[in-house]
Chains A and B, each alone.
Chain A
Amino acid sequence: MRKIWDFHGGIHPPENKHQSLTQPIRRAGIPAELVLPLNQHIGAPAEPIVEIGQKVLKGECVARPAGFISVPVHAPTSGTVTAVEERQVAHPSGLATECIVITSDLEDRWVEHAGIPDWTSADKATLLACIRDAGIAGMGGAGFPTAVKLGVNPRGGSIDTLVLNGTECEPYITADHVLMRERAEEVVAGTRILQKLVEPKETLLGVEDNKPDAIEALRRACEGTDMDVVVFPTKYPSGGEKQLIEILTGRQVPSGGLPADIGVVCQNMGTAVAVYRAVVHGEPLISRITTVTGEAVAQPGNFDVLLGTPMSFLLELSGFSADRLQRLVMGGPMMGFTIPDAAVPVVKTTNCILAPTEKELPPPPPAQPCIRCGLCAEACPASLLPQQLYWFSRGKEYEKLEAHNLFDCIECGACSYACPSNIPLVQYYRASKAEVTQLKRDQAKSEHSKTRFEARQERLQREAEEKEAQRRARKEAAEARARQAAEAGSAEQDPIQAAIERAQAKKAAAQEGEETPQRPAVAQLDPAQLAIERAKAARAVSADQSPAEKARANLERLQERLAKSEAKLTASREQGAEATIIDALEAAIEKLRPKLEVAQQEVDALGDEAQPKPAPAAEEKDAAQLAIERAQAARAATADQSPGEKAQANLERLRQRLAKSEAKLAASREEGADDSIIDALEAAIEKLRPKLEAAQREVEELKAGQEA
Chain B
Amino acid sequence: MYEWIAQQPFLAALIALVMLGAVFGALLGFASEKFKVEGNSVVEDINAILPQTQCGQCGYPGCRPYAEAIAEGEAINRCPPGGEAGIAQLADLLDVEPIPLDEAHGEEAALPSVAFIHEEDCIGCTKCIQACPVDAILGAAKQMHTVITSECTGCDLCVDPCPVDCIEMVSEELTLASWHWDLPSRDDSATIIATDRIATDRDAA
Binding site for B on A (CB under 8 A): 39, 89, 91-93, 95, 97, 366-369, 393-394, 396, 424, 427-428, 430-434, 439, 442, 445-450, 452-453, 455-456, 518-524, 528, 532, 615, 618-619, 621, 624-625, 627-628, 631, 687
A-B contact pairs, 25 of them (CB 8 A): A93-B174, A366-B189, A394-B183, A428-B183, A428-B184, A430-B181, A431-B181, A434-B181, A445-B153, A446-B51, A446-B53, A449-B54, A453-B52, A453-B63, A518-B135, A519-B135, A521-B138, A521-B139, A522-B138, A522-B140, A522-B143, A524-B140, A524-B141, A624-B125, A625-B163
- Top 3 nearest A-B pairs (CB, nearest first) are A434-B180, A446-B52, A93-B179
Q: By the criterion CB–CB under 8 Å, are B139 and A449 in contact?
A: no
B76: Cβ under 8 A from any A Cβ: no
Q: By the criterion CB–CB under 8 Å, are B181 and A522 in contact?
A: no
Q: By the criterion CB–CB under 8 Å, are B183 and A431 in contact?
A: yes
Given contacts A396-B85, A521-B140, 20 further A-B contacts (CB under 8 A): A39-B176, A95-B174, A428-B184, A430-B180, A431-B183, A433-B180, A449-B51, A452-B134, A452-B135, A456-B133, A456-B135, A519-B135, A520-B129, A521-B126, A521-B138, A522-B143, A524-B126, A528-B141, A618-B123, A624-B163
Q: Tell me the minimal C-beta distance from B153 to chain A in angstroms.
A: 5
B77: Cβ under 8 A from any A Cβ: no
Q: Tell me the minimal C-beta distance from A523 to chain B in angstroms.
A: 5
Q: By the criterion CB–CB under 8 Å, are A619 and B123 in contact?
A: yes
Q: By the criterion CB–CB under 8 Å, are B183 and A95 in contact?
A: no
Q: By the criterion CB–CB under 8 Å, are A520 and B85 in contact?
A: no
Instruction: Provide the main secondary structure of the chain A interface.
Output: helix
Q: Tell me the minimal C-beta distance from A327 to chain B in angstroms.
A: 15
Closest to A683 in B: B120
B197 CB contacts on chain A under 8 angstroms? none
With A367-B191, A369-B191: A453-B133 Cβ-Cβ less than 8 Å: yes
Q: By the criterion CB–CB under 8 Å, are B182 and A431 in contact?
A: yes
CB-contact partner of B151 in A367, A434, A452, under 8 A: A452
- Interface size of B as a range: 35 or more
Q: By the criterion CB–CB under 8 Å, are B140 and A628 in contact?
A: no
Q: By the criterion CB–CB under 8 Å, are B138 and A520 in contact?
A: yes
A619 CB contacts on chain B under 8 angstroms? 123, 142
Q: By the criterion CB–CB under 8 Å, are A92 and B52 in contact?
A: no
B95: Cβ under 8 A from any A Cβ: no
Question: What mask results when residues 159 to 188 of chain B are scored 1 for a CB within 8 Å of chain A, else 0?
Answer: 001011000000000111001111110101
Q: By the criterion CB–CB under 8 Å, are B181 and A449 in contact?
A: no
Closest to B141 in A: A528
CB-contact partner of A367 in B136, B141, B143, B184, under 8 A: B184
Q: By the criterion CB–CB under 8 Å, are B135 and A520 in contact?
A: yes
Q: Tell me the minimal C-beta distance from A92 to chain B in angstroms.
A: 7
With A396-B88, A450-B47, A452-B135: A432-B123 Cβ-Cβ less than 8 Å: no
Q: By the criterion CB–CB under 8 Å, are A449 and B53 in contact?
A: yes
Question: What mask results when residues 123 to 157 of chain B are scored 1 for a CB within 8 Å of chain A, else 0?
Answer: 10111011001111111111100001001010000
With A95-B176, A432-B183, A687-B120: A453-B136 Cβ-Cβ less than 8 Å: no
Bound complex: CA of A654 vs CA of B189, how far in Å?
57
Closest to A676 in B: B142
Instruction: Provide the main secondary structure of the chain B interface.
Output: loop
With A92-B181, A452-B151: A618-B163 Cβ-Cβ less than 8 Å: yes
Bound complex: CA of A367 vs CA of B183, how far in Å?
13
A367 CB contacts on chain B under 8 angstroms? 184, 188, 190-191
**How many A-B pairs fall under 8 Å by CB?**
127
Q: Tell me the minimal C-beta distance from A96 to chain B in angstroms.
A: 9
Q: By the criterion CB–CB under 8 Å, are B52 and A621 in contact?
A: no
A95 CB contacts on chain B under 8 angstroms? 174-176, 179
Which residues 93-133 in B have Cβ within 8 Å of A in the complex?
A: 120-121, 123, 125-127, 129-130, 133
B50: Cβ under 8 A from any A Cβ: yes
Bound complex: CA of A442 vs CA of B85, how far in Å?
12
Q: By the criterion CB–CB under 8 Å, are B183 and A427 in contact?
A: yes
With A449-B52, A450-B63, A519-B135: A532-B140 Cβ-Cβ less than 8 Å: no
A432 CB contacts on chain B under 8 angstroms? 183
B181 CB contacts on chain A under 8 angstroms? 92, 427, 430-431, 434
Q: Tell me the minimal C-beta distance from B78 to chain A in angstroms.
A: 17
Closest to A92 in B: B181
Bound complex: CA of A627 vs CA of B151, how far in Å?
29
A446 CB contacts on chain B under 8 angstroms? 50-53, 153
Bound complex: CA of A91 vs CA of B174, how far in Å?
13
CB-contact partner of A520 in B88, B136, B188, under 8 A: B136
Closest to A446 in B: B52
Bound complex: CA of A431 vs CA of B143, how far in Å?
44
Bound complex: CA of A522 vs CA of B129, how far in Å?
11
Closest to A522 in B: B140
Q: By the criterion CB–CB under 8 Å, are A523 and B140 in contact?
A: yes
Bound complex: CA of A524 vs CA of B137, how far in Å?
13
B50 CB contacts on chain A under 8 angstroms? 446
B164 CB contacts on chain A under 8 angstroms? 618
A518 CB contacts on chain B under 8 angstroms? 135
Q: Tell me the minimal C-beta distance from A228 to chain B in angstroms.
A: 39
A522 CB contacts on chain B under 8 angstroms? 138-140, 143
Q: By the criterion CB–CB under 8 Å, are B52 and A447 in contact?
A: yes
Q: By the criterion CB–CB under 8 Å, are A456 and B134 in contact?
A: yes
Closest to B47 in A: A450
Q: By the criterion CB–CB under 8 Å, are B180 and A91 in contact?
A: no
Bound complex: CA of A501 vs CA of B163, how far in Å?
36
> Which of B50, B139, B184, B190 neighbours the largest number of chain A CB atoms within 10 Å of its CB?
B184
Bound complex: CA of A2 vs CA of B94, how far in Å?
59
> Which of B51, B126, B135, B148 neighbours the largest number of chain A CB atoms within 10 Å of its CB?
B135
B163 CB contacts on chain A under 8 angstroms? 615, 618, 624-625, 627-628, 631
> Which of B54, B63, B153, B163 neighbours the largest number of chain A CB atoms within 10 Å of its CB?
B163
B88 CB contacts on chain A under 8 angstroms? 396
Q: Tell me the minimal C-beta distance from B162 to chain A in angstroms.
A: 8
Q: Tell me the minimal C-beta distance from B160 to chain A in angstroms.
A: 9
B135 CB contacts on chain A under 8 angstroms? 452, 455-456, 518-520
B52 CB contacts on chain A under 8 angstroms? 445-447, 449-450, 453
With A393-B183, A427-B181: A453-B175 Cβ-Cβ less than 8 Å: no
Q: By the criterion CB–CB under 8 Å, are B134 and A453 in contact?
A: yes
> Which of B52, B127, B136 neighbours the largest number of chain A CB atoms within 10 Å of its CB?
B52
B141 CB contacts on chain A under 8 angstroms? 524, 528
Bound complex: CA of A428 vs CA of B184, how far in Å?
7
Bound complex: CA of A450 vs CA of B66, how far in Å?
13
B174 CB contacts on chain A under 8 angstroms? 93, 95
Question: What mask results when residues 21 to 41 of chain B are scored 1 for a CB within 8 Å of chain A, else 0?
Answer: 000000000000000000000
Q: By the criterion CB–CB under 8 Å, are B138 and A97 in contact?
A: no
Closest to B120 in A: A687
Q: Tell me the minimal C-beta distance from B164 to chain A in angstroms.
A: 8
Q: By the criterion CB–CB under 8 Å, are B51 and A621 in contact?
A: no
B136 CB contacts on chain A under 8 angstroms? 452, 520
B180 CB contacts on chain A under 8 angstroms? 430-431, 433-434
Closest to A519 in B: B135
B120 CB contacts on chain A under 8 angstroms? 687
Q: Tell me the minimal C-beta distance from B45 to chain A in angstroms.
A: 13
Closest to B112 in A: A442
Q: Tell me the minimal C-beta distance from A299 to chain B in angstroms.
A: 32
Which residues 50-67 in B have Cβ within 8 Å of A in the complex?
A: 50-54, 62-63
Bound complex: CA of A39 vs CA of B178, how far in Å?
14
B188 CB contacts on chain A under 8 angstroms? 366-367
A91 CB contacts on chain B under 8 angstroms? 176, 179
Bound complex: CA of A449 vs CA of B184, how far in Å?
33
With A39-B176, A95-B174, A523-B140: A618-B184 Cβ-Cβ less than 8 Å: no
Q: By the criterion CB–CB under 8 Å, are B134 and A427 in contact?
A: no
Q: By the criterion CB–CB under 8 Å, are B143 and A424 in contact?
A: no
Bound complex: CA of A378 vs CA of B148, how far in Å?
50
Q: By the criterion CB–CB under 8 Å, are B85 and A521 in contact?
A: no
CB-contact partner of B130 in A396, A424, A532, under 8 A: A532
A368 CB contacts on chain B under 8 angstroms? 190
Q: Tell me the minimal C-beta distance from B55 to chain A in angstroms.
A: 10
